[in-house]
C-alpha cells in the first residue's frame, strides 16, 4: 500500500469515527435535553394560588397570613364568576323546556371546565379525591383548562375517508343572548387575578411523599426505594462476586467444571431481566419465603442475582490484570496465597473491581423488570430500614413505567414522570461519576 492510499484511508477512518461519535452525541442530546427540560419543570414552574393552598393543606408549608390574603384577593374576582353562574341558573328555570334542555347539558360542561380550572365552587361538599379539591396548580395547565372552558372541542367526521378532525367552537357564541355569555370574557381577562401565577421553586418534589398517587407532592419514597433496592443488591452481589472472581482466577483448576461455570456465568449476564424477575418471585418469595409477599429484600436479592455476573466478570478482569510480578514478589517473601490475595492482589485490582461494582449499582438502580414481581408498588410511603424485610417500596424505575402506561391520569401529570426520569438519570450519572473519581483517586495512589 503506498503512502497516498494509506493517508486517505487514515483520514477517511478518522472522519467516519468522528462522524459516528457526533451522531451518538446528537442522539443522546435528542433524548436527554427534553427529559432534562421537562424534568426540571417538575421543580421550577409557574405555580398558582391553588398550588400554595395545596402545599399548606397537605404539607403544612407556607405562610398562612400571606396565603389567606392571596386567597381573599383571588376570591374577590372569583365571586363574580359564581354570581354569574347563579344568575344563569335562575334564568335557566325560566326558559322554555326544549331550550332549557339544550342549555342544561352545555351548562354542565361549563361547570366541569370551571371546576377543573378553579377548584370546587364554594359551598360544595369537599370531594373525596385530593386531586379534585384544588384547581389547577400549574399555570401552563391552567391555560389549557382555560381554553377548554372558552371553546368546546368538536370532531369533524364528515369525510369518512380520513380521520376525524378536531375543531373548536366558542362557548361565548353558544351562550349568546344569555346572562352566561358575560362569563367567558370575564374569566379570560381575569384568570391571572383569580389564580395569581408566580414563579415557584418546589424543592419538595425531591423530599415530599406523593399525594393522591402522584397527582401532587414529590417522589421521595421512590428515590428512597431505589436507593434501598440498589444498595441492598450491592450488599449481596459485591462480596459474593469478588469472592467468586478470586476463586475463578486464583483457585479454580482449569477443567471441565471450571469452563462450564465460566460459560454459565457469561450466559447469565445475557439473560433478559424479566426472567430474573420471574425467578425472583418463584425462588425468593414462593420457595425461600424471604418475605410474605413483595419486599425490598426480595427485590434486592433478585437484582443481586441479575448483576452478579457483571461483577464477577469485571472483578475477574481486574484481578487478571494485576501484574504477575506482584504475586511473585509476595510469594518470594514467604507469603501464602491466602495472604497474598487480600494484601497485594485485591488492593491492586481495586480500581477495576470498584468500577464494575458501581456500573452494576447504576444498572440495579435503573432496572424495572426484576422488581415488578418482587418489590415494587406504584404508591406507597417512604420505607425505613426496619421495613425492608416486610414492606414493598415504590421505586423510580417502576413508577416511571407506571406513570407512562398505567396511571389513570397520566396525561395530567407528565411533569411528575419527567421529574422521576430526570431524578433517576441524575442518580445513575452521579454513581458513574463517583466511580470515575474513585477509580482515578485509587489509581493515582497506586501509581505513586
Using CB under 8 A as the criterion, which residues of the chain lie in contact with other proteins when the complex forms? Answer: 323, 325-336, 339, 343-344, 347-348, 445-448
Which of residues 132 and 326 has its CB atom nearest to other proteins in the complex? 326
In the complex, minimum distance from the CB of residue 355 to other proteins, in angstroms, rounded to a whole number = 17
CB of 434 to other proteins, least distance (A): 22
Closest to other proteins by CB, 286 vs 336, is 336
Q: Closer to other proteins at the Cβ: 348 or 422?
A: 348
Identity of the residue, 344 or 428, whose beta carbon is nearer to other proteins in the bound complex: 344
Would you say 305 and 276 are in contact if contact means Cβ atoms under 8 Å apart? Answer: yes
Q: How many C-beta atoms surround the C-beta of residue 247 within 10 A?
A: 14
Is the CB of 346 or the CB of 361 nearer to other proteins? 346
Integer Cα distance of 446 and 351 in angstroms: 9
Q: How far is the CB of 339 from other proteins (least distance, A)?
A: 6
Nearer to other proteins, 303 or 341 (CB): 341
Cβ–Cβ < 8 Å for 149, 114 = yes
Nearer to other proteins, 49 or 349 (CB): 349
The answer to whether 399 and 219 have CB atoms below 8 angstroms apart is yes
Phi and psi torsions of 294, nearest 5°: -55, 140
| Length of the chain in terms of residues written | 448
Q: Which is nearer to other proteins, 144 or 250 (CB)?
A: 250
Q: Sign (positive/negative) of CA torsion 404, 406, 411, 413? A: negative
Judged by beta carbon, residue 123 or residue 334, the one nearer other proteins is: 334
Distance in angstroms (rounded) separating the CA atoms of residues 339 and 280: 36
In the complex, minimum distance from the CB of residue 331 to other proteins, in angstroms, rounded to a whole number: 6
Least Å distance, CB 433 to other proteins, is 24
How far apart, in Å, are the Cα atoms of 25 and each of 19, 33, 52, 196? Answer: 10, 11, 40, 41
Least Å from the CB of residue 257 to other proteins: 16
Rounding to the nearest 10 degrees, give the CA dihedral for residues 5, 7, 10, 16.
Answer: -80
Give yes or no for a contact between 308 and 240, defined as CB atoms under 8 angstroms apart: yes
Closer CB to other proteins, residue 227 or residue 326?
A: 326
Closest separation in Å from C-beta 324 to other proteins: 8
- Quote the least distance from Cβ 395 to other proteins, whole Å: 39
- Of residues 233 and 442, the one with the C-beta less far from other proteins: 442
Smallest distance, other proteins to C-beta of residue 441, A: 13
CB of 261 to other proteins, least distance (A): 19
Least separation in angstroms between CB 334 and other proteins = 3
Tell which residue, 232, 210, 219, has the closest CA to residue 371: 232
Amino acid at each position: 500500500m503506498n503512502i497516498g492510499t494509506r493517508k486517505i484511508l487514515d483520514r477517511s477512518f478518522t472522519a467516519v469515527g468522528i462522524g459516528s461519535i457526533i451522531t451518538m452525541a446528537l442522539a443522546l442530546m435528542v433524548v436527554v435535553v427534553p427529559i432534562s427540560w421537562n424534568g426540571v419543570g417538575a421543580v421550577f414552574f409557574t405555580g398558582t394560588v391553588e398550588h400554595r393552598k395545596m402545599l399548606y393543606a397537605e404539607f403544612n408549608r407556607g405562610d398562612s397570613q400571606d396565603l389567606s390574603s392571596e386567597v381573599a384577593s383571588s376570591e374577590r374576582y372569583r365571586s363574580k364568576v359564581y354570581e354569574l353562574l347563579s344568575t344563569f341558573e335562575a334564568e335557566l328555570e325560566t326558559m322554555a323546556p326544549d331550550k332549557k334542555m339544550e342549555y342544561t347539558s352545555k351548562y354542565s360542561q361549563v361547570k366541569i371546565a370551571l371546576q377543573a380550572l378553579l377548584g370546587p365552587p364554594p359551598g360544595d361538599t369537599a370531594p373525596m379525591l385530593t386531586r379534585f379539591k384544588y384547581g389547577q396548580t400549574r399555570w401552563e395547565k391552567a391555560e389549557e383548562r382555560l381554553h377548554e372552558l372558552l371553546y368546546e372541542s368538536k370532531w369533524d367526521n364528515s369525510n369518512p375517508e380520513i380521520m376525524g378532525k378536531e375543531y373548536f367552537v366558542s362557548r361565548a357564541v353558544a351562550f349568546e343572548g344569555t346572562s352566561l355569555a358575560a362569563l367567558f370574557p370575564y374569566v379570560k381577562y381575569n384568570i391571572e387575578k383569580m389564580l395569581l401565577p408566580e414563579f415557584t421553586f418546589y424543592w419538595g418534589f425531591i423530599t415530599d411523599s406523593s399525594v393522591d398517587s402522584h397527582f401532587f407532592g414529590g417522589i421521595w419514597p421512590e428515590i428512597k426505594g431505589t436507593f434501598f433496592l440498589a444498595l441492598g443488591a450491592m450488599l449481596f452481589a459485591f462480596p459474593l462476586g469478588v469472592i467468586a472472581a478470586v476463586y475463578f482466577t486464583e483457585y479454580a483448576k482449569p477443567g471441565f467444571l471450571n469452563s462450564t461455570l465460566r460459560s454459565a456465568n457469561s450466559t447469565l449476564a445475557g439473560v433478559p431481566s424479566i426472567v430474573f424477575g420471574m425467578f425472583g418471585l418463584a425462588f425468593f418469595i414462593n420457595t425461600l419465603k424471604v418475605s410474605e409477599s413483595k419486599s425490598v429484600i426480595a427485590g434486592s436479592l433478585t437484582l443481586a442475582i441479575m448483576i452478579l455476573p457483571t461483577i464477577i466478570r469485571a472483578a475477574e478482569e481486574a484481578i487478571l490484570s494485576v501484574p504477575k510480578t506482584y504475586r511473585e514478589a509476595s510469594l518470594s517473601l514467604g507469603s501464602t496465597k491466602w495472604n497474598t490475595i487480600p494484601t497485594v492482589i485485591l488492593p491492586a485490582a481495586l480500581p477495576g473491581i470498584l468500577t464494575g461494582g458501581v456500573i452494576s449499582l447504576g444498572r440495579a438502580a435503573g432496572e424495572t423488570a426484576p422488581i415488578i414481581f418482587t418489590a415494587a408498588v406504584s404508591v406507597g410511603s417512604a420505607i425505613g430500614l426496619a421495613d425492608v424485610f416486610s414492606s414493598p417500596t415504590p421505586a423510580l424505575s417502576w413508577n416511571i413505567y407506571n406513570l407512562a402506561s398505567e396511571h389513570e391520569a397520566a396525561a395530567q401529570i407528565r411533569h411528575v414522570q419527567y421529574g422521576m426520569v430526570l431524578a433517576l438519570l441524575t442518580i445513575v450519572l452521579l454513581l458513574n461519576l463517583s466511580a470515575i473519581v474513585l477509580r482515578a483517586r485509587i489509581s493515582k495512589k497506586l501509581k505513586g
